[in-house]
Chain A
Amino acid sequence: NAGVTQTPKFQVLKTGQSMTLQCAQDMNHNSMYWYRQDPGMGLRLIYYSASEGTTDKGEVPNGYNVSRLNKREFSLRLESAAPSQTSVYFCASSPRGASTDTQYFGPGTRLTVL
């Protein structure tokens, strides 16, 4: 049982390049989330998917797109990377996304945009 896995662990991009961050969970959770963590900023929600087939914007969605490919996988795409998107990205999942469910986080992807 791997929990929440993220690939890649590290990535360096040039401004304008695109890439997709992958996330998968094997806990049969309904809800999945993408956060970014910047120094001194805590965790900020980019997008979330309350259930398979649905996605919604979080606090900081600009410059990102997401795809809930199936119940297990939730990807985050940067179409044209900018230096302001340099950050550590965390994917998380929770059983229902409501009530008192806690969120389980992946190990993170450290992205640098030059």
Chain B
Amino acid sequence: DQQVKQNSPSLSVQEGRISILNCDYTNSMFDYFLWYKKYPAEGPTFLISISSIKDKNEDGRFTVFLNKSAKHLSLHIVPSQPGDSAVYFCAARVLYSGGSNYKLTFGKGTLLTVNP
């Protein structure tokens, strides 16, 4: 049962335009959400996060929106740059192991291509 879903395997946008990456989740116990970016042959790197008590978090060109009622979050990149081309993973945090630790559940990722 996939609890974090990224339904678009790929997205292609023009440089300077907005990129919108979507993520849906099913577990209402998730309390924190993160986006990671991954380049080929490298490990994922943290990009931006949002607590479940907020609906928006912004960091430079990156903004994450959370709609708890719809169990949906999105990552907006404005303006998109060719260097943003990477796989983007959505991740959600939940208590684990009897409530003593947290773990992350990842989506399958979306490959973003920004064309010059």
Question: Which residues of A are interface residues toward B (Cβ below 8 A)?
Answer: 4, 40-45, 48, 50, 56, 58, 90, 92, 97-100, 102-108
Would you give the shortest CB distance from A66 to chain B, in whole angstroms? Answer: 15
B42 touches A108 (CB 8 A): yes
B116 within 8 A of A: no
> How far apart are the CA atoms of A102 and B51 in the complex, in Å?
12
Residues of B within 8 A of A99 (CB): 102
A/B pair count, beta carbons within 8 Å:
55
Question: Could you list 19 examples of A-B contacts with CB < 8 Å?
Answer: A40-B9, A41-B108, A42-B108, A45-B104, A48-B103, A50-B97, A50-B100, A97-B101, A97-B102, A98-B102, A100-B32, A102-B49, A103-B46, A104-B45, A105-B36, A105-B43, A105-B44, A108-B41, A108-B43
Interface of B: prevailing SS: strand
Number of B positions contacting A (CB below 8 A): 25
Residues of A within 8 A of B97 (CB): 50, 56
> How far apart are the CA atoms of A48 and B96 in the complex, in Å?
11
A42 touches B101 (CB 8 A): no
A107 touches B42 (CB 8 A): yes
Residues of A within 8 A of B43 (CB): 4, 90, 92, 105-108
Question: Which residues of B are interface residues toward A (Cβ below 8 A)?
Answer: 4, 9, 32, 34, 36, 41-46, 49, 51, 89, 91, 97, 100-104, 106-109
